[in-house]
Structure 1
Amino acid sequence: MRRLTIWTLAMGLAATSPALAAQQENKENSLTYPDTRTVDIVEEQFGEYISDPYRWLENDVREDVEVADWVKAQNAVTDAYLETLDGREALAKSMEELFDFDDLGIPVEAGGKYFYERKSGGQNQAVLYVRDGADGEERVLIDPAGWSDDGATALAGWKPSGDGSLLVYAVQDGGSDWRTLKVVDVATGEVKPDTVEWAKFTNLAWLPDNVGFLYSRFPEPEEGAAFQSLNADHAVYLHSIGKDQAKDVKVYATPDQPELNHFAELTSDKEWVVITSSSGTDDRYEITLIKVDAPELETRKLVRGFEHDWRLIDGVGDTLYFVTNKDAPRLRVVKASLTDDEPEFTELVAESDAVVDGAMIVNDRLVVSYLVDAKSQLSIFDLDGEALGSLDLPGPGQVTGLSGSMKSGEGFFAFGSFNRPTTVFRYEPSSAPTIWAEPSLPFDPEAVEVTQRFYESKDGTKIPMFLVHMKDQDLSKGAPTLLYGYGGFNISVLPQYKPAWMAWIKAGGVFASANLRGGGEYGKEWHDGGRLQNKQNVFDDFIAAGEYLIAEGITPEDGLAIEGRSNGGLLVGTVMNQRPDLFTAGHAAVGVMDMLRFDRFTAGRYWVDDYGYPDKEQDFKTLLTYSPYHNIRNGVEYPALIVSTADTDDRVVPGHSFKYTARLQALETGDAPHLIRIETRAGHGSGKPTHKVIEEYSDIYAFLAHAIGLDLEK
Structure 2
Amino acid sequence: MTPAFGAARSAAAFTLFALACTAFSAPLPARDVPETLHGVTVHDPYRYLENIKDPQVQDWLKAEGLRARQALDQIPGREAMEKRIAELSAGSGDSLGEIVRMPGGKTFYLKRARGERQYKLVLREGGHERVLVNPQAEADRTGIAHAINYFVPSWDGRHVAYGLSAGGSEDASLHIMEVASGRRVGDPIPRVREPNVSWLPDSRSITYNQLRALGPEDADTETYLDSSVMWLKLGEPASQARAVFGPTVTKQLGLDRLDVGGIVFAPGSRWMVARTTDTTQRESSLFIARVEELGRGTPAWKRIAAFDDKIVEIELQGEHLYYRTRQGAPRYRIMKLDLRAPELARAQELAVPPEGGVIESFAMGRGETLMASVRDGTAIKLRLYGAGDRRGQAVKLPFVGAARLHDDPAHAYGDWLYTLSGWTRPPQTLRLAGGVSTDAGLRPPAKLAAGPAIEIVDVKVPSHDGALVPMTLIYKKGLKRDGGNPTLLTAYGSYGLSETANFNPARLAWLERGGVLAIANVRGSGVYGEPWRMAGFKASKPNTWKDGVACAQYLIAQGYASPRTLAAMGTSAGGIFVGRSVTTAPQLFAAAIFNVGVMDAVRAEDSANGITNISEFGSYRNPREFPALLEMSTYHQIRDGVPYPAVLLVHGMNDPRVDVWHSAKAAARLQAASSSGKPVLLRLDGQAGHGVGSTATQRNALWADIYSFLLWQMGKAGPQ
Partner SS state of residue 581, structure 1 = helix
1:333 aligns with 2:324: no
CA distance in 1, matches of 2:222, 2:644: 34
Tell me the percent identity: 29
Q: Could you tell me whether the CA contact under 8 Å between 1:235 and 1:262 is conserved in 2?
A: yes
User: Which residue is 1:58 aligned to?
Assistant: 50
SS of 2:226's partner is: coil
Measure, in 1, the Cα distance between the counterparts of 2:220 and 2:86. 32
The residue number in structure 1 matching 2:285 is 286
Q: CA deviation at 1:277?
A: 1.2
| 1:337 maps to amino acid | D
How much has 1:529 moved relative to structure 2? 0.3
Greater mean alpha carbon deviation, residues 382-391 or residues 501-510 = 382-391
Deviations 1:344-398 (A, max 9, x none): 2111123553111111122132111111223212111113335552211233321
Task: Mark the runs of 5 or more structure 1 residues left unpaired by the alignment.
Answer: 1-5
Helix, strand or coil at the partner of 1:41: coil
Q: Deviations over 1:371-429 (max 9, x none)?
A: 1223212111113335552211233321224423544323212111211222112223x
**Helix, strand or coil at the partner of 2:191:** strand
Q: Contact (CA 8 Å) 1:278, 1:286: kept in 2 or not? A: yes
* Residue 285 of structure 1: how far off its partner (Å): 1.5
Q: Which residue of 1 aligns with 2:564?
A: 558
Q: Please, which moves more after superposition, 541-550 or 182-191? A: 182-191
Q: Which residue matches 1:521?
A: 527
Shift in Å, 1:487: 0.5
Q: How does 1:213-252 map to 2 (within 5 A)?
A: 213-223=206-216, 230-252=223-245
> 1:131-170 CA distances to partner (integer Å, 9 max, x unpaired)?
223xx21121111111113462111111111111111111
Contact 2:261 2:274 in 1 (8 A): yes
In structure 1, C-alpha distance between the alignment counterparts of 2:166 and 2:18, rounded to whole Å: 42
TM-score (norm 1): 0.92
Letter in 1 for 2:627: K
Q: Deviations over 1:580-606 (max 9, x none)?
A: 001110000111111211111011112
Match of residue 348 from structure 2 = 346
Q: CA deviation at 1:693?
A: 1.5
Partners of 1:542 and 1:26 in 2: CA distance: 30
Shift of 1:567: 0.9
Query: Would you say 1:144 and 2:135 are equivalent positions?
Result: yes
- CA spacing shift, 1:159–1:579, aligned 2, 3 Å: same
Q: In structure 2, the residue corresponding to 1:669 is in which secondary structure?
A: coil
Query: 1:440/1:162 Cα in 2 relative to 1: closer, same or farther (>3 Å)?
Result: same
CA distance in 1, matches of 2:451, 2:134: 30
Q: 1:384 to 1:505 in 2, by over 3 A?
A: same
Which residue number corresponds to residue 392 of structure 1?
396
Query: Which is richer in strand?
Result: 1
Q: Shift of the alpha carbon at 1:641?
A: 0.5
Tell me the distance in 1 between the aligned counterparts of 2:579 and 2:35: 23
Q: Secondary structure at the match of 2:426?
A: strand
* Residue 484 of structure 1: how far off its partner (Å): 0.8
| 1:296-311 aligned within 5 A | 296=297, 298-311=299-312
Residue 120 (structure 2) pairs with residue 122 (structure 1) = no
> Which of 471, 476, 497 is 2:503 aligned to?
497
Query: 1:276 matched to which residue of 2?
Result: 275
* Residue 191 (structure 2) aligns with: 198
The residue aligned with 2:251 is none
One-letter identity of the residue aligned with 1:381: Y
Contact 1:559 1:584 in 2 (8 A): yes
Conserved 8 A contact 1:233-1:260: yes
Is 1:644 paired with 2:644?
no
Q: Which moved more, 1:570-579 or 1:219-228?
A: 219-228
Gap change, CA 1:320 and 1:19, over 3 Å in 2: farther
1:482 aligns with 2:472: no
Q: Which residue of 2 aligns with 1:109?
A: 101
Cα 1:693/1:138, change in 2 over 3 Å: same
Contact in 1 for aligned 2:349/2:390 (Cα 8 Å): no
The answer to whether the aligner puts 1:536 opposite 2:538 as a matched pair is: no
Question: Hey, what's the Cα distance between the residues in 2 that align with 1:615 and 1:21?
Answer: 52
Query: Contact between 1:335 and 1:347, CA under 8 Å: does it hold in 2?
Result: yes
**Distance (whole Å) between structure 1 residues aligned to residue 239 and residue 100 of structure 2:** 30
Seen in structure 2, the aligned counterparts of structure 1 residues 229 and 301 have a Cα distance that, compared at 3 Å, is: closer
Secondary structure of the corresponding residue to residue 617 of structure 1: coil
Q: TM-score, normalization: structure 2?
A: 0.92
Q: Is the 8 A contact 2:489 2:566 kept in 1?
A: yes
Q: Distance in 2 between matches of 1:387 and 1:613?
A: 41
- Show the counterpart of 1:3: none
3-state SS, counterpart of residue 448 of structure 2:
coil
Are the counterparts in 2 of residues 22 and 708 from structure 1 also a CA contact under 8 Å? no
Q: Which secondary structure state, in structure 2, belongs to the residue aligned with residue 696 of structure 1?
A: helix
Go from structure 1 to structure 2 and tell me whether the alpha carbon gap of 1:549 and 1:523 turns closer, same or farther (over 3 Å shift): same
Q: Matched residues in 2 for 1:285 and 1:213: separation?
A: 22
Q: What is residue 608 of structure 1 aligned with on the other side?
A: 614
Shift of 1:36: 2.3
CA, structure 1 residues 26+517, in 2 after alignment: closer, same or farther (shift >3 Å)?
closer
- Distance in 2 (alpha carbons) for counterparts of 1:38 and 1:226: 25
Deviation larger for 465-474 or 184-193: 465-474
Rounded Cα–Cα distance in structure 2 between residues aligned with 1:297 and 1:317: 22
Q: Given residue 554 of structure 2, which amino acid in structure 1 is its aligned partner?
A: Y
Q: Which amino acid aligns with 1:148?
A: A
* SS of residue in 1 equivalent to 2:190: strand
Instruction: Report the alpha carbon displacement of residue 121 of structure 1 after superposing the two structures with TM.
Output: 2.4
The equivalent of 1:593 in structure 2 is 599
SS of the residue corresponding to residue 305 of structure 2 reads: strand
- 2:380 matches 1:376: yes
Aligned-residue offset at 1:475: 4.7
The answer to whether the 8 Å contact 1:106/1:401 transfers is: no
Contact kept, 8 Å, 2:549 with 2:581, in 1: the verdict is yes
Match of 1:358 in 2: 361
- Conserved in 2, the CA contact under 8 Å of 1:291 and 1:297? no
SS at match of 1:442: coil
Q: Pick closer, same or farther for the CA change 1:628–1:210 going to 2, 3 Å.
A: same
Partner of 2:259: 260
Matching of residues 424-503 of structure 1 within 5 Å: 424-428=429-433, 430-436=434-440, 437=442, 439-444=445-450, 447-471=453-477, 473-475=479-481, 478-503=484-509
Q: Secondary structure at the match of 1:191?
A: coil
| 2:212/2:223 contact within 8 Å kept | no
Q: Residue by residue, what CA displacement relative to the aligned partner does 1:171-196 show, whole Å, maximum 9, x if unpaired? A: 01111131111111111112223321
Secondary structure, counterpart of 1:518 in structure 2: coil
Unaligned runs of 5+ in 2: 249-253
Render the CA deviation track for 1:666-694: whole Å, top value 9, x for unaligned: 22432010111111021111001111122
CA distance in 2, matches of 1:458, 1:567: 22
| Change in CA separation of 1:341 and 1:561 when aligned onto 2, cut-off 3 Å | closer
Alpha-carbon deviation of 1:226? Answer: 9.3
Task: Report deviation, 1:53.
Answer: 2.1
**Superposition CA RMSD, Å:** 2.5
Letter of the 1:282 partner, please give it. Q
Q: 1:480 to 1:312 in 2, by over 3 A?
A: closer
- In structure 2, the CA distance between the partners of 1:231 and 1:302, relative to structure 1 (3 Å rule), is closer
1:11-160 matches, within 5 Å, as 24=14, 28-29=18-19, 30-33=21-24, 35-60=27-52, 63-100=53-90, 101-112=93-104, 113-133=106-126, 136-149=127-140, 150=143, 152-160=145-153
Residue in structure 1 matching 2:668, options 654, 662, 669:
662
Contact 1:166–1:183 (8 Å) recurs in 2 = yes
| In 2: Cα distance, 1:526 partner to 1:241 partner | 46
The number of equivalent residue pairs is 699
Structure 2 SS opposite 1:79: helix
Structure 2 residue identity aligned to 1:48: V
The one-letter amino acid paired with 2:330 is P
The alpha-carbon deviation at position 340 of structure 1 amounts to 1.8
